[in-house]
Amino acid sequence: MEENLIRFNKKIKLLFIDFETANLCLNYRFNLPWQMAMINTVGGEKSGNDHNVLINWGSDFKFSKGAEAMAHSYSEERMNKEGIKPIEALKILSENLNNCDGIVGHNILGFDIYLIKCIYNKLGRPYPDILSKKPVFDTFAMAKGYFNNIPYQKGDDFVFYQYKVLNQIIKGSKNSLSKVASNFNIEYDESRLHDGLYDLELNVQIWNKLKYQVDI
């Protein structure tokens, strides 16, 4: 038994993060996050420090049709009541990034990492190069590798491995959050998907399955 593997680390502090956005692209001129959800865990268990932040961009915010169709929990009334200024949201994000040992998300390397950079750029703040400072675990890439028999070779750069998996075109490969949950027999409420905090509750369960399938 290799006790240095993450699955055995009861002290590691991992930050799970997910954004719900105005668009499905990554250009900050056209896409801004309206919901920022974060769950902090210690050793795979929730620490009780969760965040469900609504970001009010004012007149800068415009939905695309595709993104609006998935934004089940968004309403202007809720945003006006609960939304905070973008700079305040960035402060919360920065504090959580600084206080974790690593970051987890579903398709985080394909979407959320770039979106974080867009937020810093939009607000004129220097971007902390997350990939060079913290380990990043993408459960989309991990699941795709696991279910398609693309093994991770211990000792290789894990972010490089994940990008390699993400860039492979595999016919019939489906690795959405709900599909991976189903593959692991994790129950979920389909009507609640695409709410950031609910998606992360599911993501934590998926991570706690996947970490036993990949030797990291």
Give the model's pLDDT for residue 156: 94
**For range 131-154, the mean pLDDT:** 96
Angle, helices 196-210/139-147, rounded to nearest 10 degrees: 40
User: What average pLDDT is seen over the chain?
Assistant: 93
Give the model's pLDDT for residue 27: 63
Residue 20 β-bridge partners: 35
pLDDT greater than 70 at residue 75 = yes
Token couple for 89: 């949201």
118 pLDDT band, cuts 50/70/90, is confident
Domain map (residue ranges) of the chain = 6-210
> pLDDT tens digits, residue range 26-43?
665 668 899 999 999 999
**Edge-to-edge order in the sheet of strand 33-42:** 45-54, 33-42, 13-21, 102-105, 136-138
Q: Average the pLDDT over each of 2-6, 54-58, 97-101, 200-204 and give the range with the smallest value.
A: 2-6
Token couple for 80: 């006006």
24 pLDDT band, cuts 50/70/90, is confident
**For range 162-190, the mean pLDDT:** 97
- Predicted TM-score (pTM) above 0.85: yes
Give the model's pLDDT for residue 112: 94
CATH of range 6-210; options 3.30.930.10, 3.40.228.10, 3.30.420.10, 3.30.365.10: 3.30.420.10
**For range 78-107, the mean pLDDT:** 97
98 pLDDT band, cuts 50/70/90, is very high
Give the model's pLDDT for residue 28: 56
Helix spans in the chain (H) = 65-70, 76-82, 86-98, 113-122, 130-133, 139-147, 158-167, 177-183, 196-210
66 pLDDT band, cuts 50/70/90, is confident
**For range 141-152, the mean pLDDT:** 97
Q: What is the DSSP code (8-state) at residue 84?
A: B
- Give yes or no for a contact between 128 and 97, defined as CB atoms under 8 angstroms apart: yes
193 pLDDT band, cuts 50/70/90, is very high
Q: Side chain identity at 166, as an amino acid letter?
A: L
